[in-house]
Structures are given as structure tokens and as C-alpha cells.
């Protein structure tokens, strides 16, 4: 007596393969949409900060951070100064904001508040120290913009840099850290960005290469070296810092 064999027919196997293919395609498309969404949010962060900076300048005829009249313009409470409650200090408004020197430029700018933790991508000048405080006009900028209700800061002090959509920081200073960038009064850097997100942002708004165009990137924790590569270098999986001209 012959035994009856059981199994899947070719049609059934084909149907299963089609279903698996559709599921995989949906997952990949979903990941692509997530990456694209984060890239758009990150670029929007950059534009929002640039708008905040320009709005402050237009509204007060002063540069945020360099504003010598900030202490009279905003209360200490608005600036988030510790001990800025009702007191005898500053006409009953509490501790005052940190003024800039009114020179028309942001002076004495260190690069970041946490080089090791964030993996900042440059060798710091001799004597440079990190400090999340008002001793520096670049940090005062965040305080002034916050007091004017143009940005929000997520750090422990009013001088903390804003957190960007990738979970890193939005850092602004006057030094181009990626070789070959066009001269600018200031540059905006977005740290802690996954290579896939940075690549999507660059491809959508520039040329898609780390070392060419107006949007450039460098791997976190890697010292910026002279760029002798003339061909475009694509983004990889490494977490990077994106750098673009602010002004």
C-alpha cells in the first residue's frame, strides 16, 4: 500500500514568497520614510534657528549673545538665571541677564560644552576650556534667544545649546570645522546625526556628499584634516556632525 505524501504545492510556495516580499518591502519603505522624516525635521531645526537669530537682530537691532542691553531688555526670570525670583536685586526682578559687549561680533567662542561626550570633530585650540555658562558670548546667544522666546533650551542652564531632532546638539560658532566650507560670519553645527539621516538631508538639500557643497559633515570624534579629495564622498553608517553656513 502506497503512503500518501503531503507538502506544499508550487502555487502555495509562490504565494508565501509574494507575501514575504510584500512584508519586507513595507518594512524597508517604512524605514525610508522614518529616515526622510528625521532628515526633514533636522533641516527644519537648522532653518528655525537661523530664523530666530535673524528675528532677534531685526527686532532689537542687536546680535543675540553680543547684545549689551539684554539685562535691561529682559528680566532675569525670562533669562532663566538662578535666583531670579522677586528680590532686591535688579529692581526687584532678581538676578539679571548676561550682557554681551556690543562689539558687533560674538567673541571668545569655545567650540562646545562637552567635547568628549559629543565627540566633537576638531582639535581644540590650546587653552580652550568648556563651560556651560555666561562667560562667553556664544553661550550668551542661547540665553538671549531663549529670553526673547525665539528658541527653547533643553539643558540644565539657560546657556545650554538646543537639542536637535537627532538627539544631538545645535551648536553655533564662528569657525568652519569642515575643510572647504565657504567663508561665513557663523556656522551652525548639528551633532550626533546618524549617517543615513545626514545623507538623506544632504541629498534633499544639497549634493549628497560629505565633502562638497554647502552642507558638509565629518565623523564624530574624528579630527578634521585637510581635504585633498576632489570627488564626492558618500555618507556611511558613521554618526556625524553636519555643518552649514548660518550667515
19 found inside a domain: no
215 found inside a domain: yes
Question: pTM higher than 0.85 for the full model?
Answer: no
51 found inside a domain: yes
162 found inside a domain: yes
Structurally, the chain folds into a number of domains equal to: 1
235 found inside a domain: yes
Beta strands in 90-238 (DSSP E): 170-173, 187-193, 215-219
- At 220 the pLDDT is 58
- At 3 the pLDDT is 58
Instruction: List Cβ neighbours of 65 (8 Å cut-off, separation of 6 or more).
Output: 100, 106, 137, 138, 139, 140, 141, 142, 143, 144
Domain range for 179 is 35-61+106-245
Helices (H), the chain: 10-60, 70-73, 115-118, 137-147, 195-205
- At 58 the pLDDT is 95
> In this structure, what CATH number is given to the domain that contains residue 235?
3.30.1690
241 found inside a domain: yes
- At 7 the pLDDT is 64
Cell reading at 119: 565627540
145 found inside a domain: yes
pLDDT along the chain (247 residues), means of 10: 64 76 67 83 90 94 92 81 48 65 73 40 39 67 89 70 82 72 81 89 90 80 52 82 80
Instruction: Tell which residue, 8, 4, 48, 65, has the closest CA to residue 163.
Output: 48
71 found inside a domain: no
Amino acid at each position: 500500500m502506497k503512503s500518501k505524501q503531503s507538502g506544499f504545492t508550487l502555487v502555495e510556495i509562490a504565494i508565501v514568497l509574494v507575501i514575504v516580499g510584500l512584508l519586507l518591502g513595507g518594512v524597508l519603505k517604512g524605514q525610508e520614510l522614518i529616515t526622510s522624516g528625521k532628515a526633514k525635521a533636522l533641516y527644519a531645526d537648522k532653518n528655525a534657528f537661523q530664523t530666530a537669530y535673524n528675528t532677534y537682530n531685526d527686532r532689537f537691532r542687536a546680535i543675540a549673545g553680543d547684545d549689551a542691553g539684554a539685562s535691561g531688555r529682559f528680566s532675569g526670570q525670562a533669562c532663566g538665571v538662578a535666583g531670579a525670583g522677586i528680590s532686591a536685586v535688579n529692581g526687584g526682578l532678581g538676578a539679571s541677564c548676561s550682557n554681551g559687549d556690543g562689539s558687533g561680533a560674538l567673541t571668545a567662542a569655545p567650540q562646545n560644552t562637552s567635547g568628549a561626550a559629543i565627540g566633537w570633530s576638531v582639535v581644540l585650540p590650546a587653552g580652550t576650556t568648556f563651560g556651560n555658562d555666561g562667560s562667553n558670548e556664544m553661550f550668551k546667544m542661547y540665553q538671549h534667544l531663549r529670553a526673547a522666546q525665539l528658541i527653547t533650551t533643553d539643558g540644565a542652564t539657560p546657556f545650554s545649546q538646543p537639542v536637535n531632532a537627532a538627539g544631538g546638539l545645535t551648536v553655533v560658532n564662528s569657525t568652519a570645522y569642515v575643510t572647504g566650507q565657504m567663508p561665513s560670519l557663523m556656522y551652525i553645527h548639528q551633532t550626533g546625526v546618524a549617517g543615513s539621516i545626514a545623507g538623506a538631508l544632504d541629498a534633499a538639500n544639497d549634493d549628497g556628499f560629505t565633502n562638497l557643497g554647502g552642507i558638509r559633515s565629518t565623523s564624530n570624534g574624528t579630527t578634521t584634516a585637510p581635504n585633498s579629495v576632489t570627488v564626492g564622498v558618500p555618507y556611511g553608517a558613521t554618526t556625524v556632525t553636519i555643518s552649514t553656513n548660518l550667515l
